[in-house]
Amino acid sequence: MTGPKLVSILRQGSWLIASIHTALDDTQMLMFQHDLIDQIGRYRSRGVVIDVAALDVLDSFGARTLRTIAEMARLRGAETVIVGIQPDVAFAMVSLGMDTGTVPTALDLEEGLEYLGRPGGARSARHGRAAG
Amino acid sequence: MRDEPRPHDDVAALIPMLRRVIGARVDDAATADDLVQETLVRVLAAAARVEPGMLEPYAIVTARNVVASLWREQDRHRRNRHRVVDLDLPDSPDQDLLASEERTAVAEALARLTDRERATLLAHEVSGQDTRSLAAEQGSTAGAVAAQLNRTRARLRVEYLLVRENVEPPTERCRPVLLALSGGDRRRQREVDAGRHLLECDVCAQLSQPLMERAQPRDDEVRIPISTDADIVAARQAARELAARLGFARTELTIIATAVSEVTRNIVRFAGTGEVVVELVDRPRRGVQVTARDTGPGIPDVEKALADGYSTYNGLGLGLPGARRLMDEFAVVSEMGRGTTVTMTKWCGER
Ligand SMILES: [Zn+2]
């Protein structure tokens, strides 16, 4: 594979920070899901922040994939927070009849990390704002 | 992915079957041969992804799609061309005489059509009767009526030019060449060797000028062939880009892109291949219109598919109802065994 990376997954202590850098097609979205779940298991992560600010849309497939990631992460003992949903993307999701389900969302990376409960990793922060 | 090479023999063995499938749908032997080749290329490209044993059904579906895309190509200039003759006419205001000559030429060209061609064309263009209701009257399909209308328009343009220039085609090859050019059908143009004929025939070289100018690609329309996941992204991005020209707000652009994503995914999931056409319209208002069509199995119950919560694959049934909620206009026409066409529009500006 050449060219710029579509996604990056960075490890920071017991957290993973996953950033989507561009519009992903369904196959790439599923690869992202696979890689992320894989790393959650490998590093025994406690929390995952997924930054979707660069996604052009969150359609039914994208939203469902994020929910699936969060659910699989939960089963592996990690909590997920989605950050960076753009206002127009959120509006289209709501109009479409989609939301992120029970997956918490936060405004940006900083707020997402805060949500996961810096410094101790406790899950005591306020509940994230639902995207819809 | 498997490591052992998939022998091309598998694919080669499909040739007799493909000849039958395509031969049954395309009269012209040379065209049929072209389509068999095209199908083989596509099947070869996909062979590694296709389950063993599924190659033959896959090839049949591909062949049908290739034939269908031939027909679609012939339909290229159908949409939004609601004038009987859409050649550029001189329109200086003081040329009443010329205008009346134009009318006479159009009338004479119309008279050269068969009664049926003329009746259908006028019902559609003048009375505004849509292809579905025409199809119902004729015991045909909307697609067939649209294709027939296209051929009629192509013929009308040719006859109009012949009348206007007051010439009779000097050879038997002239009309087929002019028709192929008028229809914008590149495959047919190759078949009749249009390029050579234009070199050889001064009359056609001159007559074809306005026909070829007309066939220039439009810059207010984008056509995206759909067959893979990546095409879903390409389609929604193309729609966003084109719609942005109308000055839609960012939120609306994202709504359009999301709707396109949903309907395009339906093509990839259910039909395999199809196309998405995005075009700017200005009647009755400015807006962006998206047509997503495939030659897939069709939707057995459109009402049900449009009902929220109806789940057709993987617990995910939001595609059509979701897209409908996002757009201002939304229509689905589906015919079992023939395919599905979704047409949806977002108007620009205040409702
Ligand atoms: Zn000629």
Q: Is residue A53 part of a domain?
A: yes
Q: Is residue A18 part of a domain?
A: yes
Q: What's the pLDDT band for A3 if we cut at 50, 70, 90?
A: low
Are B230 and A96 within 8 A, CB to CB?
A: no
Mean pLDDT of chain B: 79
Q: What is the pLDDT of residue B66?
A: 80
Q: What is the mean pLDDT of residues B266-280?
A: 88
Query: Which residues of B sit within 8 Å Cβ distance of A?
Result: 228-230, 232-233, 236-237, 240, 250-251, 253-255, 257-258, 261-262, 265, 308, 316, 318-319, 321-323, 325-326
Q: Is residue A72 part of a domain?
A: yes
CATH number of residue A65's parent domain:
3.30.750.24
Q: Which residue of B has its CA nearest to A23?
A: B233
Q: Is residue B313 part of a domain?
A: yes
- How, if at all, do strands A7-12 and A15-20 pair? antiparallel
Q: What is the pLDDT of residue B53?
A: 61
Cα dihedral value B78, B81, B87, B88, nearest 10: -140
Instruction: Report the residue from B228, B253, B325 with minimal CB separation from A97.
Output: B325
Q: What is the mean pLDDT of residues B206-234?
A: 79
- Rounded to the nearest whole angstrom, what is the distance from the C-alpha of residue B15 to the centroid of ligand 1? 37
Q: Which residues of B touch A89 (CB under 8 A)?
A: 254
Q: Is residue A29 part of a domain?
A: yes
Residue with tokens 């033959």: B56
Query: Which residues of A sit within 8 Å Cβ distance of B?
Result: 23-28, 56-61, 64, 86-89, 91-93, 95-98
Q: What is the mean pLDDT of residues B1-11?
A: 53
Size of interface A-B (CB pairs under 8 A): 77
Q: Which residue of B has its CA nearest to A56?
A: B254
Q: Is residue A70 part of a domain?
A: yes
Mutant choice from B248, B261, B265 vs A, greatest count of A C-beta within 10 A: B261
Q: Which residue of A has its CA nearest to B315?
A: A64
Range(s) of the domain holding residue B342: 221-347
Domain count, chain B: 1
Q: Is residue A92 part of a domain?
A: yes
Instruction: Supply angle C-alpha B287, B290, B296, rounded to 5.
Output: 165
Around ion ligand 1, residues with a beta carbon closer than 5 Å are B 174, 201, 204
Q: Is residue B241 part of a domain?
A: yes
Q: Is residue B315 part of a domain?
A: yes
Q: Is the pLDDT of residue B196 over 50?
A: yes
Domain count, chain A: 1
**Whole-model pTM?**
0.56
Q: Which residue of B has its CA nearest to A86?
A: B251
Q: Which residue of B has its CA nearest to A58?
A: B258
* pLDDT tens-digit readout, B236-257: 999 999 999 999 999 999 999 9
CATH number of residue B307's parent domain:
3.30.565.10
Q: What is the pLDDT of residue B89?
A: 41
Q: What SS3 state is found at A82?
A: strand
Phi first, then psi: what are they for B310, rounded to 5°?
-70, 125
Q: What is the mean pLDDT of residues B152-158?
A: 90
Q: What's the pLDDT band for B222 if we cut at 50, 70, 90?
A: confident
Q: Which residues of A touch B316 (CB under 8 A)?
A: 60-61, 64
Q: Is residue B136 part of a domain?
A: no
- Rounded to the nearest whole angstrom, what is the distance from the C-alpha of residue B158 to the centroid of ligand 1? 12
High-pLDDT (> 90) share of chain A, %: 68
* pLDDT tens-digit readout, B100-146: 677 778 888 888 999 888 888 888 877 778 888 898 888 888 888 88
Q: What is the pLDDT of residue B315?
A: 38
Q: What is the pLDDT of residue B88?
A: 41
Interface pTM (ipTM) of the complex? 0.88
Q: Is the pLDDT of residue A27 over 90?
A: yes
* pLDDT tens-digit readout, B277-330: 898 988 788 999 999 988 788 888 888 888 765 554 443 455 888 899 999 999
Are A57 and B229 within 8 A, CB to CB?
A: no
Q: Give the whole-angstrom CA distance, residue A29 versus residue A26.
A: 5
Distance from CA of A120 to the nearest CA of B (A): 38
Q: Is residue A131 part of a domain?
A: no
Instruction: Report the residue from A26, A28, A91 with minimal CB separation from B251.
Output: A91
Range(s) of the domain holding residue A74: 7-125
